[in-house]
Amino acid sequence: MERKIKKNSIGMFDIHKGIVMILIVCIHSIYIAEKCTPGFQYPLFVRGLMKTSSCGLALLFLISGYSFRPSPWKKSFFQQARNLLKPYAYSGAAAVCLLCIKNIVSGHPVFSTDILSTAAGFLLAASSNMTVGGIQISSIQVLWYLIAMFNSWLLLELFMKLGGGGKTAAAVLLCCAAGMALGWTDIRFPFCIPQSMCCTAFLYCGWLLKKHKLLFKDYSVKIYGVCLAVYCVGTLVGDAKFYENIWKLWILELAIVLAGSFLAIEAGFFLFDCSSAFWSPFLTIGRYSLWVMCLHAIDMLVFQWEWVFRLPLPGIYAKYAVLLVLRGLFIFLGCIVLKNWNMRWKGKKR
């Protein structure tokens, strides 16, 4: 079988990112379905789908690491702040504003506890719900990824000062192991500190893929078979959850998730055709993956979708489909608004 993608090109990972974005929305919607229908037994493929979330997130960090270039720390700080913290701040402001509008429409106080909790969550970049000094702090949901990416990028910049060889690899591995170990404590860390420490390893591995040109080598079936066995057995035995910083098998989870991510990238290079009409929607979603992620986070923070599962529809699957359509419609309309705003902003700058 011949590779569809044979060399480095702009957007060669866009279809991968598009599929991961769809999986994230689907999996988060499954969590709502579970909450609203306790005791329902989901098919095996649904439980398997939920197990792929860690592999999908690792894939995003690997892809970002593939574009990593060591640069002066100050330059990297401002560049990543513009690329990651800026959309993070906009998303937080949009979520708070929409919650205020929601309270006004429903007749509740404008600055309710929910709004204060959401605002505090964004200020502290809380990856999970926590209580600080008696104040409830809401999770920033999927936007923990932006904070972890920002922190881990800067950490990797520091480790690269060691030369990029064995010392850098050892520092990255120790940082990842320490971050995973912090998951054993009951302490809730702000600013996604443990997750950032762990994700530095995935960024570094992405950089290694590019440096040694590992994605365009011809591998034997045995290599793919070993990776598949490691991922399948490890997924059954272990449990990796990025946002909660849960790593059941500790540092072994790194190898398990990396094996699955490598297989996903390789499979995509053989299957994805950017010129095909079939893959076109995934390609578009991947190109706007940052917008999709931010809009999905706003959706999770603002809207309560439990009412969908109280609709008089035949079966849970029909209700789940309605939920996906509504969430997809919100993201689609949001992307249109952002695209128009972006075009006008660029026009004014000219």
Written as tens digits, the pLDDT of the chain (350 aa) is: 566 666 667 678 999 999 999 999 999 999 899 888 887 777 777 777 777 788 889 999 999 999 999 999 999 999 999 999 999 999 999 999 999 999 888 887 777 788 889 999 999 999 888 887 777 889 999 999 999 999 999 999 999 999 888 999 999 999 999 999 998 888 888 899 999 999 999 999 999 999 999 988 889 999 999 999 999 898 888 888 888 888 988 899 999 999 999 999 999 988 888 788 899 999 999 999 999 999 999 999 999 999 999 999 988 999 999 999 999 999 999 999 999 888 777 666 65
Q: Percent helix, strand and coil across the chain, each rounded to 5?
A: 70, 5, 25
Question: Nearest-CA neighbor of 197 among 162, 247, 161, 235?
Answer: 247
Structural domain boundaries in the chain: 14-349
d(CA 116, CA 135) in angstroms, rounded, equals 9
Distances (CA, A) of 285 to 22, 247, 263, 331, 346: 8, 30, 21, 10, 22
C-alpha triplet 57, 93, 105: angle, nearest 5°: 115
pTM: 0.92
Are 111 and 52 contacting, i.e. CB atoms less than 8 angstroms apart?
no
The residue type found at 201 is A
